[in-house]
Structure 1
C-alpha cells in the first residue's frame, strides 16, 4: 500500500498555489481553551495551593499533601535507571555544556571618546521556571536543554514543574543538572503557579519549556499580564524541511522526514529537490519505512499536509526554504556548505548525510528549543543569552563630560527636553566655578 505520494512541481504552480503549498497546518483558535485557562490562572492566583490540589486531582488524578519531590527521591533516581541510559544522558549533558559554555559573551569595555567609558555586562536572571511536559515519553532531553544553559548563565533559582508522576528519567536529568526544587504539578495550573507563586511553589521571573495547547495558552496569558513573567517562546508543531540533490541517500531523507512527522498530527515535513528521480526513490522509501513505525496513524495525518516539491535547481530550493523559514533544515547535497551561504531563515540546520535531526534533538550539543511556524524569520534558537540580561554601564570623567557637554545640550534642546539639558549644565557650571574660582 502506498501511503504517501505528494509531489508538486514548483514552476508549474501559480503564485497563489506556491503560497498555499507552504502553509502550515491551521492552528484553530479555541475559545473554550482560552476561557478554561483563564479560569485556572485566576483560581491559582487567588487560591494558591488549594487550587493546585483541586486541578491536580481533577486533571491528573493525583492527590498528595505536597507537590515537592523529596531530595532523597531525586537522588535515588540515579539507581533507578540503567547504566547505559545514564551514560547516554551524561554524554548529551557534556556536549550541551560544551556548546553553551562557548556562548559566554565577550565583555565590552571601551572609551567611546576620551573620558567617556562605556561597558556592557551580562547578569543572570534571578529565578526561572522549567516546565517539562509528560505524555507518550518522558522528555528528559528538554531538562538538559533548559537546565544546562541556566546553570552556566548563573541563574540563582531554578524551579522545575512536570505532571505527576514525574518519570525517573526526568528526575535523573534534573539531578545531574543540580536542580533541587522539583514539583509534581502540570498543565496550565503549573504555569500559573510559576507565574504568581503559591504557598509551596515560588514565583519566577521567566518560564521556559514546551507543552500542550493549554500550557501554551497559559504561557501566552501570564506573559501578557502586567508584571507577569517573561516566557521563552510559544512552541508550535514540529517541522522539518530537507534540501537534497541527486547525490543524497533517499533512505536517509525518508527516515528524517518520518522522524519529524511522528511528533504529532500537526507536524509538517517538506522535501525540496531538483531531482525527480530522487523524489520518487524517497517516496518508495517512506512507504517502506512506514511499515516499521508504531505511530502510524499520527504520521499519516502529518503526511497529509506534507509534500515533496520539485524545483528548477538548488538555488531555488534555498529561496523556497527562506520563504518557509523552517524550524529544522537538513541540507543533504554534495556540497552542503555552499548551500548554507544562501540560507537566511532557519532555526537549526543540519549539514550532510551524517547529520540527522535526531542529533540536535538529543546530544550534538546545540539546543532543541526552537522557533516554529515561520518565526525563524526574526527569532533565534534558545541559548545562553535567554537566561541572561544585558546591562549597560557608563562612566564619564569631569573632562569627558566637558568634552561631550556641548553635544548633549544641543541634542536635548533639539528634542525640547530642558531638564536633560539642565542635568548637564548644572555640572558644567559647577566645574567652571571650581576651576575658575
Structure 2
C-alpha cells in the first residue's frame, strides 16, 4: 500500500508543497565528489583508465573499447525479428515526432535595408549515453540518435556499459539498435567514465585494437543514467553542452473518482519496475480511488516479474498517494512536484492537462500510458527528473541545434540608426563604438 499524504483543507505555497511531497533523495554533490577522480583519470590515462574502470565497476575488462564493425552487423543479423520490427516502428514514429520540432529560419527586416536572420546550426559532434543497469534500453538508443540525426548532427558516438555476459561488449540489442540507425562509432564504456571520454576525448593504448586515438571530444553529451552519470554531466557542463541531469525515473498520476484503478495501478507499477529507487506518486481528490488503487497494486504486484523491485520502489519514501481537496489543488500539487512523467486520468483530461505548467511529458486520458511514450508515441523519453521540469525540458532536436543571428544592414539602414547608436555608445562611455559606425558614413 502506498503511504498517504493528506493535503485536504490546506493552502500550501509551491515551496511548502515541494517540501512535503514524496521525492527521491539524490545527493548529486556527494556523487560529484566521487566522479571527479574518475573524470581526471580518464583525462590523464585515456583508454587504460577506461579499461581499469570497466573492470572495477562492470566486472569485465573489455578487449575492444571501440566496438568492431562486425560485432554491430552480427548483432543486427541475430536480432529477434519482432524486436527489429518494433525498433523500426519506433524509429519511424520518432523521426516524425522530432521532425515536427525543427525550427523555421526567419528573416526579419527591422527597417528598410536592415535585416536580422535567424539560422539554426547543428553542433558538429555529439556523445550519446545509453545506460545498461537493471534493464536493457535499445529504446534509449532510438531516442538519442533520432533526435541528433533529425537535427542534422554529422558525427555521432554512442557509449553503453560493457557486459561480462557478452565478452566485454555492450548488450547485443543495444548494438543492433545502433546498427539499424547507421551508427558506426559505439563504445563499450559506462557510467561517469563515458561522460568523461566524450567531454575530453581519450587516447588509445599501444598493443590494443583501439589504435592511437580512441575517441575525439564531442560538443554535446546527452542520455539518461544514474546519479553518477548525472554528477559527471554536471562536472563537465561548460566544456560540453548537456541535455539535463536525468536521475531515477518517476511518474505522477493525477486522477479523479472516475479513473480506472486498474489502469492507475498498472502505470504506477510500470515505472516502479525500472529501479528500487523509482518514484510512483498518485494525486487524487478521491479517497475511494486511492483505496481501490492500493488493492489493485497488491493484486498486480504479486504476479509481476520484478515484484521485489516494484514493492521496494512503491514502499519507499519517494512514492505515495497525495490526497487533495479538488482538482484545482491537484494541479497545484502536480506543478510543485514537476514530474518526469505526468498522467492525467480525469474528466475532461485534455483541459486539465492544459493547465499543467511543470512536467517532462504529459500523458492525457486513459489510453495514453507512460509506456507508450517510452517506446512508440513519437515523443522522447529522455526527460527531466527530480523537479527540474520547472525549468528543463525533454530531449529534443533543440539539444543539438544552436541559434545563430545573422545581421546585414546596407548603407542607408546604417545611416538611419547612426545617431541613436552614438547616443547609446556615449552613454556607456564607449565612443569607439560610435566611431566605428561614423567612419563608414563620412
TM score, norm. by length of structure 1: 0.92
Gaps of 5+ in 1: 430-437
Question: Of 243, 268, 272, which residue of structure 2 is paired with 1:261?
Answer: 272
Is residue 167 of structure 1 aligned with residue 171 of structure 2? yes
- 8 Å contact kept, 2:18–2:336: no
Instruction: Output the CA distance in 2 between the equivalents of 1:5 and 1:323.
Output: 20
Instruction: Output the CA distance in 1 between the equivalents of 2:277 and 2:192.
Output: 21
- 2:121 is aligned to 123
Instruction: Output the CA distance in 2 between the equivalents of 1:5 and 1:284.
Output: 10
The structure with the larger Rg is 1
- 1:355 is aligned to 368
- 8 Å contact kept, 2:22–2:281: no
Instruction: Output the CA distance in 2 between the equivalents of 1:29 and 1:97.
Output: 33
Deviation at 1:217, TM superposition (A): 2.0
Instruction: Output the CA distance in 1 between the equivalents of 2:74 and 2:320.
Output: 47
- 1:200 is aligned to 214
Instruction: Output the CA distance in 1 between the equivalents of 2:52 and 2:320.
Output: 45
The RMSD of aligned alpha carbons is 1.8
Deviation at 1:114, TM superposition (A): 0.8
Instruction: Output the CA distance in 2 between the equivalents of 1:239 and 1:187.
Output: 20
- 1:432 is aligned to none
Instruction: Output the CA distance in 2 between the equivalents of 1:331 and 1:158.
Output: 36
Instruction: Output the CA distance in 2 between the equivalents of 1:377 and 1:59.
Output: 33
Deviation at 1:302, TM superposition (A): 2.2
- 1:286 is aligned to 297
Matches within 5 A, 1:166-315: 166-198=170-202, 199-223=213-237, 228-303=239-314, 304-305=316-317, 306-315=319-328
Question: Of 49, 69, 72, which residue of structure 1 is paired with 2:70?
Answer: 72
Instruction: Output the CA distance in 2 between the equivalents of 1:221 and 1:421.
Output: 41
Deviation at 1:406, TM superposition (A): 1.3
Deviation at 1:341, TM superposition (A): 2.7
Cα 1:29–1:101 change in 2 (3 A) is closer
Deviation at 1:339, TM superposition (A): 0.5
- 1:7 is aligned to 4
- 8 Å contact kept, 1:315–1:339: no
Deviation at 1:319, TM superposition (A): 1.6
Gaps of 5+ in 2: 163-168, 203-212
Local SS of the residue matching 1:73:
helix
- 8 Å contact kept, 1:10–1:18: no
Local SS of the residue matching 2:432:
helix
Question: Of 405, 409, 412, which residue of structure 1 is paired with 2:418?
Answer: 405
Pairs aligned (count): 422
